[in-house]
Each structure stands twice: as structure tokens, then as C-alpha cells.
Amino acid sequence: MIDHQVKKRSKWLQLMLLLGMTVLIARLGYIQLFMSQSWTQAAQSIWREDDKIPAVRGTIYDRNGKELAYTTVAYNVQADRTYMEAARKDAENVKRKDDKDLDPGKGDPRLYAQLLAPVLKMSESELYDKLSEKNRIGIPLKQKVDADTAKKIENLKLKGVFLTPTTTRHYPNGTLAAHVLGFVADGQGAAGIELQYNDELTGKDGERKFLRDSRGNPLPYEKEQITTAVDGKDIWLTIDETIQHYAEDALDHLIEKYKPKHASIVVADPNTGEILALANRPTFDPNQFGKYEQNVLDNNRAVNSAFEPGSTFKIVTMTAALNEKKVNLNDTFTSGKILVNGQQINDWNYKGWGTITFRQGVAHSSNVGMVLLGQRLGKEKLFDYIYRFGFNQKTGIDLPGEGNSVLFNPKAMSDLDLAVTSFGQGNAVTPMQQVAAVTAVANGGNVMRPFVMKEIRNPKSGATIQEQKPHVISQVAAPEVMSTMRDVMVDVINSDETKAGYIEGYRIAGKTGTAQILKSTGGYETDSNIGSFIGFAPADQPKVLVYVTVDSPKSDIQFGNVVATPFAKEVFANVLPYLGIKPADDKQKQTVKPVVVKYSTVPNWKGMNHKQAFEAGSNNQLVLQILGTGDTISRQWPAPGSKVPTGSLVILMTGQIKDVNGNVQVPDLTGKSLRESIDILSMLELGIDPAGSGVVVGQEQKPGSIVPAGTKIKVTLGQFPLTP
């Protein structure tokens, strides 16, 4: 009975084992046949390691092979609280065992912060807060420190503080050419050449695939799969580092003297369009771009800003008139003022120079002369030349964010619009458009596209992959016309009595401009202008073109030849010898009579009687208007020490401004800005009722008339430039 039961149980057990084995074999077969691939992939995902092999970003060189931007080794500084806590416990055990003082470098966050703060140039409190985070690994302390800083951290021997190798973009010259180079953020070009040619500079990352053990070590019997990284290409620029230094130095001198809101200098080769230097202020250091406001990083005003050019635009009008044979330079006209549709347009000094030739008109920067030429050309023809000079389109310079012009529509513009266009008002253009336009005058008629990238090269072999050739945008006028224009522009420089742009031995051609600034609400600023200069040298065979623009300089005189020309001269004086261009032995012949643009310093008239005041005015070549009934000068405008053009009107007031009936004599406000008019009238206890924008071109209450104190003087402001 017992044997029978044992046998029965044995059979059942065998059956169960057989069934179990069958299920197991079936399951293994299913896994082998249907799940082996997915399970293998899951296992390999645990064992397999994929390492990125980063491509090295290409280097940016100047035209002579000097490094302007390159990628170098850096280190990220991190802390691990687990290691720090372990180090602290070890130190405490050693202290208890050997009765030694606690090592300050063993895990104490506060002591770590004290030691690291001067090395990382961070505050102790900020570091302490980071190092005190509980249960954290990989606490980032600072990103991308240089090798010297990393060595100092290693020497501290702080357990739990680690250095992870990485790369960083380095700009060895700091702020030099910052708006040309741009900067790199999160591995991508974010401005300038770094952005414009990001795809070429970036390259393609490689990859290393291998199987590892639990400690992360490669398994010896498994072959690595490596995809080689392709490094980024090198960019060679048209920029000359030495010329860039000259431009930056001149710009720093300009900023130091006049403290404008903005200023820019561009240096170019007028024969090819190559940009040799480009600098803006304010600027930034691309090594530390995160410290700057976005408006500074975006401040490539030489490329992206548009404003009314002022008298530099007279180059366009005169070229058009000469090429169309609408003028002979020896023809004469009466300067001073001209009426257009009932609106009076004045020369910048409000009195002109009598009857002068058109050649002299350019040298004097006469608005009236340009209006006459604009009328001879007509709207369509003048704008035909504006378009030929390229002002109706972007230049195509290979830098991001290029701005464009804002021009009148010649089919819809008025005669007054034509008049103001002829001397550089009413239309807004960019500095780079002006640079491109004047290349045509310098090289004989071709508007050259400005460009910054000269070559793209293989980083290993140095072979040229791509080369940018000079490109002609348009042809403007006959070579002989441009030769005449060069002579006319040389006259501008040579005939300036201040010699602001003159360098003995060099024929420098140039033109200054002073433009009013449009307000966002309409009209023009009353006390700020943009001064500029554009020119080239040597005038007979130009090699260098220089453009300087100065926005809102802090100066009593904001004329272009005062705030811009001297700094262009500084650039010329350095660049011409650097390029091996020697000065001529013979002195330059002046073809026109010097332009008398003199300046007088306003004396202090306070305390003088009438006779003494007029003698002082005569000695300083200033015109006086004395208001009031007293005998002794008590107040004056402008203030003593101010510099004003010779022949300017000065308002003097005696002790008794009002007569016995409380009446006041009305001053002559012609040519004064709104701000100046308010200052003068307030001293006389008068108000103002202005209409229009710009400067005073008319007043209802005539100068010298008598009105009650408190009367509002009605003045008309005109939108016309008053400066050369």
C-alpha cells in the first residue's frame, strides 16, 4: 500500500517536473526567438557607453594671421557634498585619535568658501550657500576657469572639490574689434562673425562607443567604435589688427574728450571694399559678455543704425550735378539764404559768404549751393544718383543685423523735400552705406560691397576652401567726374583754417557733416547733433577710407570738423605710414581760398559799460545786442568761456531789463535752438510759443520791438541743418 502511494507520488512529481521543464524550455525559446534583440539592447544600454568627441571650433585670424579668437582648455569647478562629509569625518577621527587640530581643508563649507573666494573671485557668502546644500553631488561653483585658476584650486587640496576639463572661447585682445568678432554663448555664435559664420566655425562632433564594466572601464575584448570629429574651419578676416588698434585708440581719445552717447570709426580699402577696422563705443569684452547690457552687445551702430547724414551727403548732389553737366565749378551763386515754397533755407552761418563759386560752396558747405544743384537736377535725376550710390539697398556686408535706409519717394515728395535732400536732410542712411558710396569717389566710379571675411581655410592643412572676392554693387559716374570730386574734397580739407584734417605731405580728401537728430515723437532734438567725417587718402591713388561718426557729443560746438575730423586725422596719421605710404616733399597746392570757419571764445561782459562791451565784442569778432535800460552789463548769453563761430550774436542785458512801464525789448532769436531761445527769453522775463522743430527761422514779434514782460514770443522753428 505504501509502495503504491510512493510510486504514485513519484509519477506526479515526474510529471510536474516535466511540465515545468517544458514551460521553461518554451519560455527560453520564446525569449530566444522573439525577445533576444530587445533584451540584448537593454543589456547593452547598461554596458554601452557613448562618449561625444567634441569638434574644436575654428580660429578667427586677422588678415596677417594674428589670432583674434580661438578655443582653449578650461575647467568647470564642482563640489560633491558626499566627499566633503566623508573628508570631515576622516579629519575628526584623526583628531580624536592623534589629538591633532582639525585640518581646515577637510570638508568644512565655511572654510572652503574662505579659501576658494579669492581664487574664483566670488563672495564667501555665495560660495558658502552653494557648498552648504545638503545631499548634493556635482554642485556647480564656477564655469570655465582658466588653467592658472585651476592650478591654484588643485594646490588647495580640498577634498570634494573637482575640476572637469572643458573648452572655452578666448579673445586674446579683450574688447578689440568686439562688434566684428561677436561672442559664443552655449557653444553657438551669438553675434558678429561668430554668428555670421557659425556653421563654418562649429564643425561636427565625433563619437566613441564602447562596452564598460560596472566601474565604467572599457571591456578589453570589445572593440571601440569611433567616429572622428570634424573640427570647425578657420576664418581669416579683412581686419588688420594693427589698424584696428589705431582706430580703437582714436575712438578712445574721442570718447575721453567729448563723451558722446555713441561713436564709431570704420576704416576700409576703397578699391576692394575690405573693412580694415571697425570699432564702436560703447563696447564690450567678448570674454565676459554676460556682464554687459544687451543694448551694448547689439551696439554695432556702424552697421545697423540709420540717421540723417547731413553735409556728407553733399558729395552725392555735387557728383550728380557734375556727371549730368548741370554745373561748372567756377559758376557763381549768391549764398546766405534761399526761398523754397515760401520756406527760407539758410546757410549754416545764417549770413553766407556773398557771391561764391560752386567749388567754394562745397568747401564752405553751403546749403544754398546744394539746393540750387538739386533744383537743376530735379527729383527723379537726383534720386537716380542716390540709388546709384547704393542708398536704396543694404550693402550686403557679411555681419548680422545690417540696417537699411529710409528715403523719400521721389514721385510723392515736395519741392521742399527735394531741397533738404540735396544737403543731407530728410533721408536716413547707415554709416556702412556711406562708406560703400564714397568708395566710388575714391576708386573712380565703382560702389564696392564692404566685406569682413577674406578666406575660409582648412584648420589642419591651411588650404583655402573659400575666398571672398571684391564685388561691384554699381557704377555711379565717369572716372573724370570722380577725379574732379576728389580734387573738390581735397579743397575741403586744405581750405579749413583749423587744419582739423590736414596732414602735411599727404593729399587727404574729405567732407564733414553735422546732422540734426530725429525725435521719436517727431521733430528734431534742439541741443544734440551727430557730427561726422568721411574721407580717403592719398587722394590721387586712395588706399585708405576713414569714416567717423559722433552722436550727441558734450561740446558747445558739435560741428563735424570739430568733433569728428581730428580723430580721422589721427587714424590717417598712423595708418598711412604703417602701409608704407610716405609723405610727399612738396606742399600741397590749395585751389580755393581758405574757408573762414573761425571760433571765438565768449568773454565775461559782466560789470562792463556799453562802450567797453562793444570794444570787447569787436576784439572778439562777435555781434552784440544789448537789452535793458541800465548802463552796466549784468547778464549775458552765451556764458563766459563758451566757444561760438566768429560773427555770432551775443545777447547782453543791463541791470534794468524792464522800462518804467514794465515793458521788455524783444531779442533776435534767429538761428537759436528751442533750448537756447528759452534760456534767453527767461532771462528777459518772457515766454515762448514755438511752432515746428529745429532752429528759429522766424519770429512774430520783431527783434527790437517792445512788449510787456511775460509776453510769449511766437517763433517758427525750421528743420534745416545749421552746421557744416
CA of residue 687 relative to chain centroid, distance: 41
Read off the C-alpha cell for 207.
563619437
Which H helix or E strand runs over 466?
strand 464-467
Q: What is the DSSP letter of 221?
A: T
From 311, 552, 600, 673, active-site residue = 311
CA distance 604 to 242: 46
- The Cα-based distances of 302 to 61, 189, 262, 287, 310 in angstroms read 21, 20, 10, 22, 16
> Which candidate, 485, 476, 484, 488, places its Cα nearest to that of 445?
476
Read off the C-alpha cell for 593.
581760398
* Phi–psi pair at 423, nearest 5 degrees: -120, 20
Question: In degrees, to the nearest 5, what angle opens at C-alpha 693 toward C-alphas 689 and 696?
Answer: 65
Question: Are 78 and 141 in contact, with CB atoms under 8 Å apart?
Answer: yes
Question: Are 44 and 210 in contact, with CB atoms under 8 Å apart?
Answer: no
Phi-psi bin for 454: left (phi > 0), alpha (psi -120 to 50), beta? alpha
Read off the C-alpha cell for 176.
578689440
Burial 537-561 (b: 16+ CB within 10 A, else e): bbbeebbbbbbbbbbbbebebbbbb
* Phi–psi pair at 190, nearest 5 degrees: -120, -5
Read off the C-alpha cell for 180.
566684428
- Per-residue HEC secondary structure of 32-69 comes to HHHHHHHHHHHHHHHHEEEEEECCCCCCEECCCCCEEE
Report, in angstroms and rounded to the nearest whole number, the Rg of the chain calculated over CA atoms.
Answer: 38
CA distance 199 to 396: 19
Strand-strand pairing, 161-170 and 67-79: antiparallel
CA distance 403 to 465: 30
Q: Which residue has the cell 566768429?
A: 646
Active site residue 311: yes
Q: Which residues are catalytic?
A: 311
